[in-house]
Amino acid sequence: DSHTQYERVGADVTMKCGSMDWDAAVTWTANGTDIDESHLNGSYLILKNVDLSQSGQYSCYEGSSWHLKYQTYLRVGTPPKEPVLMCRSNNYPKGFYCSWHLPTPTYIPNTFNISVIHGTKDMVCEKDAIPKNRCHIRYLQLFSTVKYKVTLTVTNALGKNFTTLTFDEFAIVKPDPPESVVAKPVPNNPRRLEVSWQNPSSWPDPESFPLKFFLRYRPLILDQWQHVELSDGTSHTITDAYAGKEYIIQVAAKDNDIGTWSDWSVAVHATPWTEEPKHLTTEAQITETTSTSTSSFMAPPTTKICDKGAVVGSGAMAVCWTAGLVVAAYSVLFI
């Protein structure tokens, strides 16, 4: 006679040796190891305040004959806590998905049951194979005034729990982050970076449901981000990058009119074009970094080419057109 028995952590468990009398001589084993007689009350096995480590196979043998009289698999666990449920539409207007998990493990098997009610209608949320704790629903109607009510019930041998989410169709729209974000320097432009990206592939209809984008960028050495919101197009040129500094760039997407912003895309790094070979630039950067990162960082002036700030990173071969012209002018005069 063998079965599985579920008990709560901290409970007191009494196991009877099948149909044997209380005063019968028996031996209990846990996972094959004999159990000390101190745990026995007659032929009953008493486990007080059970913990997870006491899960296992318990067997009861008749004293002299060593016949197996009873066997049970003890699984110690907890009843489920209130599950965490999230629903999101990353493929509007096709539908939405819900995913869930338990905040703490129960250590025993759980079954999840999800129900979706739209007004008076029951809808079927089709379970996904992967990932497991997820199901999806197709919208039958768009622009609904009636809320969706999703109830997730989790049950195991020790108890059950549930949680409910109620939302409007529009409230859960959140696209996936933009894909294939690429940032490139622009030749001969030391303060520009060209960023391009693509609509998330999960967004089914960008023509009728256009996305808008939010770009953020900063040089690695600073903490503060700069932001640009773009109402259309999947590219943008940054024109105020600090010369020679490595930048970190991310993009997020949102339906033009409804819902919330996506998570930030994978970050890309890029450094604006500089004229110098790399090793000279690095030296100049190090000197510049140590001297200016401690002081208030001012934008290098954009008008005077020969100014120290803009020349940083150009090294010895300073592109100093004004000075060059002046020299050229004097040379001409003296010829």
Partner 1 sequence: GDSWGIFTFLCAALCNLPALPALNCSEELGAGQSIQQTYDLTRYLEHQLRTLAGTYLNYLGPPFNEPDFNPPRLARAERVPSATVDLDLWRGLTDNARLAANYRAYSRLLCYLRVLDGQVGTAELRHRLAHFCASLQGLVLSIGGVMSSLGYPLPAGPAGPPAPPGAHAAPNDFLKKMDDFWLLKELQTWLWRSAKDFNRLKKKVPPAVVTLRLEARGF
Q: Tell me if 72 sits within 8 A of 15, measured CB to CB.
A: yes
Contacting residue, 6, 96, 112, 139, with partner 1 by CB under 8 A: 139
Which two structure tokens, joined as six digits, stand for 163?
């949680």
Nearest to partner 1 of 8, 147 (CB atom): 147
- Minimum CB separation of residue 140 from partner 1 in Å reads 7
CA distance 245 to 270: 8
Residue 334 as a binder of partner 1 (CB under 8 A): the answer is no
Contacting residue, 120, 231, 295, 296, with partner 1 by CB under 8 A: 120
Query: Which residue, 318, 323, 247, is CA-closest to 280?
Result: 318
Query: Which residue, 1, 39, 43, is CA-closest to 21?
Result: 43
Residue 113 as a binder of partner 1 (CB under 8 A): the answer is no
Considering only the stretches 139-147, 175-183, 218-226, 267-275, report the one whose residues sit in contact with partner 1 under the rule CB under 8 A. 139-147
- Minimum CB separation of residue 169 from partner 1 in Å reads 9
- Minimum CB separation of residue 213 from partner 1 in Å reads 16
Contacting residue, 109, 119, 301, 324, with partner 1 by CB under 8 A: 119
Query: Which residue, 150, 182, 156, is CA-closest to 85?
Result: 150
Residue 134, φ and ψ in degrees, nearest 5 = -155, 145
Considering only the stretches 205-213, 234-242, 300-308, 318-326, report the one whose residues sit in contact with partner 1 under the rule CB under 8 A. 205-213
CA distance 286 to 311: 14
H or E element that contains 324: helix 321-334
Which two structure tokens, joined as six digits, stand for 178?
């933009």
Residue 257 as a binder of partner 1 (CB under 8 A): the answer is yes
Nearest to partner 1 of 38, 145 (CB atom): 145
